[in-house]
Chains A and B, each alone.
Chain A
Amino acid sequence: MNLVRLAWKNSIKRPLNLVMSVVLFGLGAGLISFLFLINHQLKEKFDRNLAEIDLVVGAKGSPLQLILCSMYHIDNPTGNIPIEQAKPLLRDGHPLIKKAIPLSLGDNYKSFRIVGTNKDILALYGAQLADGKLWEKDFEVVIGKAVADETGLVLGSTFHSSHGFADDEDLAHDHLSFQVTGILNESGTVLDQLILTNTASIWLVHDHNEPADTALVTTPTDSSHLHHAHGEDHSHDNSNADLLNHPDKEITSVLVQYRSRTNFQALNFGRNINENTDLQAASPAIEINRLYSMMGVGTDALQSLAILIALVSAFSIFLSLLKSMRERKYELALIRVMGARRGELFRLIILEGLFLALIGWLFGTLLSHASMEWMASYLKDDFRYQFTGWIWLDEEIWILLVSLLLGVLAAILPAIQAAKTDIHTTLAEK
Chain B
Amino acid sequence: MVTTSNLAYTYPLGKQLLFPDISCSAKEMLLVLGTSGVGKTTLLHLLGGLLTAQQGEIKIGSTNLASLRGSDADRFRGKHIGIVFQQHHFVEALNVLENCLLAQSLAGNKPEKEKAMALLERLNMGPKAYASVKNLSQGEKQRAAIARALVNQPGLILADEPTSALDDQNCDEVLSLLQEQAIAAGAALIVVTHDNRLKDKIANRVILEKV
Residues of A within 8 A of B (CB): 1-2, 6, 9-10, 12-14, 328, 330-331, 333-344, 423-424, 427-428, 430
Contact = CB atoms under 8 A, between A and B. Distances in A.
A6 B86 contact: no
Contacts of A424: 45, 50-51
A299 to B, nearest CB: 41
Given A337-B50, A339-B75, A331 B45 contact: no
Contacts of B79: 339
Nearest to B108: A339
B51 A337 contact: no
Interface string B149-170: 0000000000000000000000
**CB-based closest 8 A-B pairs:** A339-B78, A13-B93, A1-B101, A339-B106, A9-B93, A1-B102, A341-B71, A330-B89
A14 to B, nearest CB: 8
A331 B91 contact: yes
Contacts of B71: 341-343
A339 B89 contact: no
Q: Is the interface of A mostly helix, strand, loop or mixed?
A: helix
User: Which of the listed residues A6, A10, A338 has the most CB atoms from chain B within 10 Å of its own CB?
Assistant: A338
Interface of B: 41-42, 45, 48, 50-51, 70-71, 74-75, 77-79, 83, 85-87, 89-94, 98, 101-108, 111, 148
Contacts of A423: 45, 50
User: Which of the listed residues A14, A344, A427 has the most CB atoms from chain B within 10 Å of its own CB?
Assistant: A427
A6 B91 CA distance: 9
A331 B90 contact: yes
Given A337-B83, A339-B78, A428-B41, A6 B89 contact: no
A338 B106 contact: yes
B98 A430 contact: no
A330 B87 CA distance: 10
Contacts of A340: 74, 78, 106
Nearest to B75: A339
Given A1-B98, A1-B111, A331-B91, A338 B51 contact: no
Contacts of A334: 89-91
Nearest to A430: B87
Contacts of A428: 41-42, 45
A335 B83 contact: no
B105 A1 contact: yes
B90 A6 contact: no
A245 B100 CA distance: 94
Nearest to B101: A1
Nearest to A14: B93
B86 A339 contact: no
B77 A339 contact: yes
Nearest to A336: B74
A338 B107 CA distance: 6
B110 to A, nearest CB: 11
Given A337-B77, A341-B71, A424-B45, A331 B89 contact: yes
A337 B102 contact: no
B116 to A, nearest CB: 10
Given A424-B51, A430-B86, A6 B77 contact: no
6 contacts: A1-B105, A335-B106, A342-B71, A343-B71, A427-B85, A428-B45
